[in-house]
Amino acid sequence: MTATVDTADYSTAPDLITIDQVTTDTPTVYPFVLHRVDPRRLRADGNSRVVRDIRETRPELVASVAEHGVDPKVSIINVAPDPDGVLAVLVGFHRHAAAVAVKERENPDLTVDLLVHAPGTRREVLVVQGIENIHRKGYTTAEEAQLYGQLALEGMAPETIARELSLPDERIKAGLAVAASTRTRAAGKALPTADMLLLSQLAEFGDDEDAHQRLVDVLTTRPHQFQWTIEQLRDRREQQAMLARETQKFTDLGYTLADDEDDLPDGAERLDALCAGDGVDPLDPAGHADCPGRAVSVWVDGDLEAEVVHYCLDYATHGHRTLASVRIAAAEDRLRAEGVPIVDPAADGVVPLSRLLADGQAQHALTAADHAGCPGHAAYVIDIPFRSTTDVGYVCTDHAAHGHVLRFAPSAPQPERDAAYQTGERKRATANNRLWRDAKIARRKWLTQYFTDWRKRKATALPARLQHWLALAPVLAGDYLAESAPAHAYAYACTLLKLGEPKDHRRTNNPIAVLLRRKTTTETQAVLIRLAQVVGACEAHWNAKYTENADASWRSPSDDTRFYIELLQALGYPLSHIEQVVLNPALDHEKWPHLAPVTTGDKQIGDQQAA
């Protein structure tokens, strides 16, 4: 069945053509062909693929239409009446746009043939357009996601959309997630070749501007790090969620939240540093639950373990004392009973005995026993919290009057930082120590992934200059390597290689030695085993009790630490901020303004960090 329309009637007035204007020799039976139609008379909106400047986006199509027209034997434009009865393009939007462009410039007499379909619902039209578009070259993931979103608005369930378009359910659900996120839709337009499932992961963080932008940056510049980055952000999100739950629990119990434990009010103290009356046992959090001064600070680490520190915000008012004050008072009472006066070590004229000689002929510093008969003999007491004990410092209150001599001249006074700097440094230490602990957790997750399937690794997949790094290790990380072997027998290396821990101290029985002696172990595997030994030795260092407080690691890193961070970077590990600070301390300056250089008189104190 064919139909015609007289284009001469519309040569000067390209109004939209309606179905009732179409004349046929017989009653209309859909579908039918309509010949010689002015393309400008068709409605061409509502397509999921927005056609902008067709001459710019498809110049080859415009040139083809200008030379050959729209050949119905090759590709015909499909139309159907819309709710207003206007013939609207159903399939062939780019061909239609090219025909309109040619009609307006190259060939005013151009007409096109159409295949007219029965009127359809919005849902039916979208399905038809989608079936054509999703199999067309250049159809972007953003456009595809938009189609799924439109079909969902028409009441179609994901499973129905998948069935109608013959696509997997997972792809439809991923596309709907992308369509629901304004930020991800925008990112999809900027990344037209990005995989739909990947974009749906990006959509997880559509409500978090910073995290979303970070992921977009990674996708744009370092796509191989995307999965690692999003896993880190998921972990961080779970940390924050758990932190919110833990803090809410204490809030519901009436506790004050000490959000900044480095800036507590005067009179506040940790519960484990307080006691009741003259007691010597720390206050128990359970026994302090009804105190009006009860407060907590809560932190959740990368392993989702909550660290809760209990405080009393005004311990003196509520009848508590510090354990330090009790210990100091007891020690001072003992000194007074022995006839030793108590003095302020910072008072004028007070000098520690360790800095004094009895006279000009003496070879050794004064001891408390030597100085006991001196009229200037006195002492002070300091508390040592981590030992739960006190230390007595003996002094002379007027060494010159009593004939003593200084062992060495006093050192030049160092310029003091103001209170704001010291407060900033305390906060930085707390924050960076936590970041360092979290970085250790994240780093080990990455290392576990890195050594997965290490036996199958090809030589071509090894990092650049890996042999150079391994040769450098005994020179630049010798301390860490010495710590790890033979006493620890490279236990962490065995864990990374999934060999099981060494069962005895016989070196020949070590799983690494056994593996390397096998004739089937390849050269590439041997290189990776050596890498695991170096990495394992460096990581083992951070298991020691004395490395739990990380100040010395990021603030004053050793050659071993710097080497290890550089090695990780060479392996492709994305360094966290605190790990980057090891290599470049200046990275902390923007985050912590108190580190900016200050000027004292004519002298600049630049980048000084607290010891």
pLDDT in tens, 423-478: 888 899 989 999 999 999 999 999 999 999 999 999 999 999 999 999 999 999 99
Domain interval for residue 399 = 338-406
Question: How much is the average pLDDT of 123-131?
Answer: 82
Question: How much is the average pLDDT of 381-389?
Answer: 87
Full-prediction pTM beyond 0.75? no
**Whether residue 124 sits in one domain with residue 71:** yes
What pLDDT shows up at residue 9?
Answer: 45
What pLDDT shows up at residue 608?
Answer: 43
**Domain end marker among 322, 357, 386:** 322
**Whether residue 454 sits in one domain with residue 370:** no
> Is the Cβ–Cβ distance between 451 and 522 less than 8 Å?
no
Whole-number Å distance between alpha carbons of 534 and 523: 17
Q: Is 34 helix (H, G, I), strand (E, B) or coil?
A: strand
> Is the Cβ–Cβ distance between 359 and 403 less than 8 Å?
yes
Q: What is the rounded radius of gyration, in angstroms, for the C-alpha atoms of the chain?
A: 39
**Whether residue 529 sits in one domain with residue 491:** yes
What pLDDT shows up at residue 533?
Answer: 94
- 379: amino acid identity, one letter: A
φ, ψ for residue 52, nearest 5 deg? -95, -120
Residue 63 belongs to some domain of the structure: yes
Let me know how long the chain is: 611
- Percent of the chain surpassing pLDDT 90: 63
Question: How much is the average pLDDT of 215-225?
Answer: 93
What pLDDT shows up at residue 600?
Answer: 52
Who contacts 465 (Cβ-Cβ below 8 Å, separation ≥6)? Answer: 570
What pLDDT shows up at residue 367?
Answer: 95
Confidence of residue 412 (pLDDT cuts 50, 70, 90): low
What pLDDT shows up at residue 388?
Answer: 85
**Whether residue 257 sits in one domain with residue 147:** no
Consecutive H or E run containing 89? strand 87-91
**Whether residue 95 sits in one domain with residue 152:** yes
Residue 182 belongs to some domain of the structure: no
Residue 225 belongs to some domain of the structure: no
**Whether residue 437 sits in one domain with residue 356:** no
Tens digit of pLDDT for each residue in 292-314?
Answer: 999 999 999 999 999 999 999 99
Whole-number Å distance between alpha carbons of 605 and 599: 6
**Average pLDDT across the chain, whole number:** 88
**Whether residue 255 sits in one domain with residue 115:** no
What pLDDT shows up at residue 610?
Answer: 40
Question: How much is the average pLDDT of 404-425?
Answer: 81
What pLDDT shows up at residue 43?
Answer: 92
Tens digit of pLDDT for each residue in 226-268?
Answer: 999 999 999 999 999 999 999 999 999 999 999 887 788 899 9
Residue 414, pLDDT above cutoff 70: no
Closest by Cα among 130, 152, 136, 139 to 196: 139
Residue 416 belongs to some domain of the structure: no
DSSP 568-582: HHHHT----HHHHHH
Residue 62 belongs to some domain of the structure: yes
Burial label, 94 (beta-carbon count in 10 A; 0-12, 13-18, 19+): buried
Count of the separate structural domains present in the chain: 4
**Whether residue 560 sits in one domain with residue 490:** yes
**Whether residue 6 sits in one domain with residue 122:** yes
φ, ψ for residue 441, nearest 5 deg? -65, -45
Residue 523 belongs to some domain of the structure: yes
**Whether residue 573 sits in one domain with residue 546:** yes
DSSP 397-466: S-TTTTT-EESSPPPPPPPPP-HHHHHHHHHHHHHHHHHHHHHHHHHHHHHHHHTTTGGG--GGGSPTTH
Residue 137, pLDDT above cutoff 90: no
DSSP 303-352: TS-EEEEEEETTTTTTTEEEHHHHHHHHHHHHHHHTTPPB--TTSTT-EE
Q: Is 387 helix (H, G, I), strand (E, B) or coil?
A: helix
**Domain end marker among 356, 373, 406:** 406
What pLDDT shows up at residue 599?
Answer: 55
Confidence of residue 503 (pLDDT cuts 50, 70, 90): confident
| Sign of torsion over alpha carbons 143, 144, 147, 152 | negative
Q: Is 499 helix (H, G, I), strand (E, B) or coil?
A: coil
Q: Is 485 helix (H, G, I), strand (E, B) or coil?
A: coil
More confident position, 609 or 160: 160
Tens digit of pLDDT for each residue in 558-606?
Answer: 999 999 999 999 999 999 999 999 999 999 998 998 888 765 554 544 4
Residue 286 belongs to some domain of the structure: yes
More confident position, 230 or 57: 230
**Domain end marker among 117, 152, 172:** 172
> Is the Cβ–Cβ distance between 454 and 463 less than 8 Å?
no
Residue 180 belongs to some domain of the structure: no
**Whether residue 582 sits in one domain with residue 447:** yes
**Whether residue 167 sits in one domain with residue 247:** no
